[in-house]
Amino acid sequence: MKTLILIPTYNEKDNILLLISDIRASYPDCDILVVDDSSPDGTYQLVEKLSLKDSNIKLLLREKKEGLGAALFSGYRYAFLNNYDKVVQLDADYSHPVSYISAILPALDRASLVICSRNVSGGGTENWAMFRIILSRLAGFTASSLLGLKAKDPTSGFRGFSKGLITCLVTEYKPVSKGYLIQVETTLIAKTLKCGVLEIPFIYRERQSGASKLGTVETFKSGLALARLIFKRYN
């Protein structure tokens, strides 16, 4: 079974080398694809050097920053074109612990979409203030309620995809969300296709270093994207 671990990056030079090292040590048979939007801090240059020494490490360099959704879709297309059986996506900032990949991979034998969830029994967040927890759960509840999803954490970006779902995403549905709402949109597509969706618990950690990309502007854009998804569902 060919497995691809997909990591979208933008200005993650302080994290990416250690993350790749941890993944290679724990999952030596998996390929790693870093999708970088020409990070000004030189993230892609570090990955490129590694890829010249290790054929399991791949770099997909994009010309400019177009949003998380666009970067992830490029990764899905790469996985489809290169015939991977399973895809695991995670952030580069260590908020998604590598150890959980060992739970995602076998779960993909039972479901087409596996979501690492903060909001199921056993899941949660480390060192979050109560208002952040409430805001996160409210966002997930709103998206699930308005779109008819059953997932408790549809905004989670730590997830796994089967080959069949990746094929449908690339050849038929082609997610349109350019930002963080791609997580909700791919969950909606899986529901539309009647694919199995499974949530497994995980503990979200604060990023190890660097700055968060989810600012006010991105939050506003995500709200507009959610409104578009709701309009598509009911029209």
Whole-angstrom distance, CA of residue 199 vs CA of residue 203: 13
Residue partners of 13: CB distance under 8 A and separation at least 6: 39, 41, 42, 43, 46
Reference 51, options 76, 73, 32; nearest CA is: 32
Distance of CA 184 to CAs 73, 93, 128, 159, 165, Å?
13, 21, 22, 12, 15
For 9, residues 6+ apart whose C-beta sits below 8 A from its C-beta are 16, 34, 35, 36, 37, 39, 43, 44, 47, 92
Check: pTM over 0.75? Answer yes or no: yes
Which residue has better confidence, 131 or 147? Answer: 147
- Please say whether the beta carbons of 153 and 120 come within 8 A: yes
Q: Tell me: pLDDT of 181 over 80.
A: yes
Say if residues 152 and 183 touch (Cβ distance below 8 Å).
Answer: no
Q: What is the mean pLDDT of residues 101-107?
A: 98
Q: Which amino acid is at 109?
A: D
Mean pLDDT across the chain? 87
> Would you say residue 48 has pLDDT above 80?
yes
CA 38 to chain centre: 19
What backbone torsions phi and psi does residue 141 show, to the nearest 5 degrees?
-65, -40
Confidence (pLDDT) at 56 = 97
Q: How does pLDDT run across 152-167, given as a tens digit for each residue?
A: 999 899 999 999 999 9
Residue 49: band (very low, low, confident or very high) from pLDDT cuts 50, 70, 90: very high
All structural domains of the chain, each given as residue ranges with its CATH number in brackets, are 3-234 (3.90.550.10)
pLDDT tens for residues 221-232? 555 565 566 555
